[in-house]
Amino acid sequence: MLINNAEQYNDELIKIRRHLHMHPELSFQEEKTLLYISDYLTALGIEVETGVGGRGVVGRMIKDPSLPTLAIRADFDALPIQDEKEVPYKSTVPGVMHACGHDAHTAVLLITAKILSQHRDEIPGNIVFIHQHAEEVDPGGAIQMIADDCLRGVDAIIGQHVSSSLPVGQIGYKVGTVTGIPDDFWITLQGRGGHAAHPDTTIDPIAAAIRLCNDLQYIVSRKTKPTAPAVLSITMFNAGEQNNVIPDSAKIGGTIRTFDAETQNLMYSELKRCLEGLVTTTGITYELKYLKGYPPVVNTEKEMMTIVNAARKIDSVTELVELEPSLGGEDFSYYLQRVPGAFFYTGTRNENFKADFPHHHPKFDIDEQGMMNAVKVFLQSVEDYFKKEASE
C-alpha cells in the first residue's frame, strides 16, 4: 500500500510547510512560490507546466493517455493579514501570512507527488497535480487555469482543506453541496457635509449608512425563505475624520452568502431596493459595486465515497465526520463543474499547540501532524480510484 511509505516523509512535509509559511505571497502576486513548486516537481521527474492560467503550476505524470486520469489540486496564495504568532516559522513578509492553510495544502500535495512519483510504475493510471494560485480573491485562479487547459484529459479530481474546526485525526466529508456562493459588495453613499451643529443643512451619509445597515438585516429575516439559508454581513464602515464635521460620504462593504441562484438573485435585488428607498427618504445618492462569487462546491457521490472508504483504511484517522454545508466559498467548485470529484477537510485543530484559532485570524496555525493524514488519504484514494476504474 502506498500509505506505508508516507511517515518517513513527515519531517520534509513540515519543513516545506514552514518554508512556505515564512515566505507567503498574495493572490495574483505569487512569483517565488510557483518557482519553488515547479522546481520541486521537476526534480521528481514529473513533466511541469508553469504560468498556467497566469501563475498556476501543473505537474503531469502521464503513463498512458488511454488510461484513467485523476487530478489532485492544492492552492498556494496567502492573505493580507499581519502574522501575530510567536513561532520560529512566523511570516517574514510584513502584512502577509498564510492564514488559511494554503501552505499546508501545497506541502501535502508536493509530498504526495513525491511518493507517487516513486511508485509510478505500479500505478495503473495517470495523475495530474494542479497547484493553483489565487483562491482567495475573485475571479480566482481555478477558472483561469481551467481556461488554460489544466484539466486536459482529466476524468476526476480530488482536493482537501485543512480545518481548524476539526481536531487532528478527524476527516470531514459531505456528498453533494458543501460550500456556498460568496458575493461581495462595496457601497459609497454620497451626501452633503456640513457643521455637526446644523445637521438640517446637510444630507448626513453616516445616518443614512446606519439605516442601510439595519435595513439590510431585514432582508435575511423577512425576505428570504426560512428553508434557504442566507447570510449578510457588513464588514467595513468608513466615514468622517472630525468630531464636529458631518462628512460628505460614507463607505460600507460586506458579503452575502447563499447556496442557490434564486436566493442569491433575491438578495441582490433586495439590496438594490434598500438603496433606492434610501435615496427617496434621505436624498443621498449611491454607487454600488457588486461582485458575484464562486459557485457552490458540489461533491459527486462516487468520488466522495472513494475518499471516505480510503480514510477508513488509515489508522491515524480516528473519526470520519459528515459535515453540514458551510456558507464559506471555495473555487474548487469550478473544477467540479467540468469533471466529477470531491473535496474533503482534514482536522488540524489542537488547543495544546494554540492551533485553534479560526481561519483568516492573525494567529491562525495548524497542528502539523494533521498534514500527514491528508497525504495518506490522497495516496489511498489514488490507489482505490484506479482499482475501481480497472474493475468497471
Average pLDDT of 155-174? 98
| Residue 302 · residue 342 · CB < 8 Å | no
Residue 360 annotated as part of some ligand binding site: yes
Please give the pLDDT value at position 156. Answer: 98
Same domain, 144 and 221: no
Domain edge (last residue) among 265, 291, 317? 291
Same domain, 45 and 145: yes
Same domain, 35 and 85: yes
Q: Directed axis angle between helix 261-282 and helix 205-222, to 10°?
A: 150
How far apart, in whole angstroms, are the C-alpha atoms of residue 90 and residue 183?
A: 31
Same domain, 109 and 219: no
Residue 84 φ then ψ, to 5°: -105, 10
Residue 119 annotated as part of some ligand binding site: no
Residue 100 annotated as part of some ligand binding site: yes
CB-based contacts of 269, cutoff 8 Å, min separation 6: none
Same domain, 136 and 227: no
Per-residue three-class SS string for 88-103: CCCCCCCCCECCCCHH
* 163, 166, 168, 174: CA torsion to nearest 10: -80
Concatenated DSSP letters of 317-366: --EEEEPPPBS---TTHHHHTTS-EEEEEEEEEBGGGTB-SPTT-TT---
Provide the domain limits for residue 236. Answer: 181-291
pLDDT at 392 over 80: no
How far apart, in whole angstroms, are the C-alpha atoms of residue 279 and residue 219?
A: 18
Per annotation, catalytic residue among 25, 30, 49, 135: 135
Q: Is 77 one of the annotated active-site residues of the chain?
A: yes
Same domain, 85 and 166: yes
Residue 330 annotated as part of some ligand binding site: no
Same domain, 148 and 132: yes
Same domain, 126 and 59: yes
pLDDT at 375 over 80: yes
Domain edge (last residue) among 291, 322, 357? 291
Domain edge (last residue) among 240, 275, 291? 291
Q: Residues 224-277: pLDDT tens digits?
A: 999 999 999 999 999 999 999 999 999 999 999 999 999 999 999 999 999 999
Same domain, 255 and 304: no
Q: Residues 269-295: pLDDT tens digits?
A: 999 999 999 999 999 999 999 999 999
| Residue 61 · residue 128 · CB < 8 Å | yes
Same domain, 224 and 301: no
CATH of the domain at 191: 3.30.70.360
Per annotation, catalytic residue among 75, 77, 367, 383: 77
Asked whether the CA dihedral 379, 382, 384, 387 is positive or negative, the reply is negative
Q: Is 135 one of the annotated active-site residues of the chain?
A: yes
Average pLDDT of 170-194? 97
**Total domains, the chain:** 2
DSSP letter (8 states) at residue 260 = S
**Which residue, among 117, 126, 128, has the nearest Cα to 67 in the 3D structure?**
126
CATH of the domain at 102: 3.40.630.10
pTM for the whole structure? 0.94
Same domain, 161 and 186: no
Same domain, 174 and 185: no
